[in-house]
Amino acid sequence: MTITPESKVGQIATEHPLATRVFARHGIDYCCGGGVALSKACEKRSLDVTELVAEIERELAAPVEDEVRWDRASLKDLIEHILTTYHRPLDEELPRLEAMARKVDSVHGERHPDLLPAVLSTYLELKAELDQHMMKEEQVLFPLILDGRGALAAAPVSVMEQEHEHAGAALSRLRELTDGYQAPEHACNTWRALWHGLGALEEDLHRHIHLENNVLFPRALADAG
């Protein structure tokens, strides 16, 4: 596809996976906000759309290893990729980030009452929802799709998309609270590690949700198998 200001962000991410690096760089939501035109996404972030298109084109032109076009892979391979690349690492990463968030809040929360307790509570809500969300996908939705009955999954897909919206809102709140995950100069090593981990979580969840919202779910619902 030719990338224009009218191109949808999610479509760009699907057809040009390397463009997600540029979106992540500038905090552009290409998963839950995938239906938005690039010009609107740039306007929201106070970015010049022409410069952003040029940056994406430079990223695509750079010599790199081949990126997998998951919109062309089998549904079985796509689901396996989602499970191994995103779900299983979250089993370890979510508790790790919780432990750090609790520690940083317990040590520094009294001196930063408007920041750290809010970060902790927002993160805990996000973690609880993600834990339940992944369980529902693995026990209900993914088996339905793998059984060739994805066209019947409109109701569970709608629920998953709503939960993705909630997760996206929590990520936006965390980015706002943490000033884009920029730790203050006086932050201890655990605090810095927490901010870094939350930033990495946001980037991974954007890729994760994009693959489900913009690739897996539309294909599954269109599958008449």
Q: Over the stretch 23-48, which tens digit does the pLDDT of each residue have?
A: 988 888 888 778 899 999 999 999 99
**Strand positions, DSSP E, the chain:** none
Rounded to an integer, what distance in angstroms lies between the CA atom of residue 59 and that of residue 22?
Answer: 8
pLDDT tens digits, one per residue of 168-220: 999 999 999 999 999 999 988 989 989 999 999 999 999 999 999 999 999 99
What confidence score (pLDDT) does residue 21 get? 82
Residue 16: CB partners within 8 Å, gap ≥ 6? Answer: 1, 3, 56, 60
Q: What b/e sequence results for 11-28 when a residue is b if at least 16 CB atoms lie within 10 Å of its CB, and e otherwise?
A: bbbbebbebbebbbeebb
How far, CA to CA in Å, does 33 sit from each of 18, 28, 165?
17, 8, 9
In this predicted structure, the answer to whether residue 59 has a pLDDT above a threshold of 90 is: no
Q: Is the pTM of this model over 0.85?
A: no
- What's the pLDDT score for residue 66? 57
Quote the tokens at residue 116. Answer: 């750290």
Statement: residue 20 has pLDDT above 90: no
Angle between helices 116-136 and 88-108 (to 10 degrees): 160
Using CA atoms in the order 21, 24, 26, 32, what is the torsion angle rounded to 10 degrees? 130
Given a cut of 50, is residue 73 above it in pLDDT? yes
**CA–CA separation, 38 vs 69, rounded Å?**
21
Task: Give the chain's length.
Answer: 225
Question: In the predicted model, what is the mean pLDDT of the chain?
Answer: 91
Q: pLDDT tens digits for 93-121? A: 999 999 999 999 999 999 999 999 999 99
Query: What's the pLDDT at 65?
Result: 56
> Distance (Å, rounded) from C-alpha 137 to C-alpha 156?
9
- pLDDT reading at 64 higher than 70: no
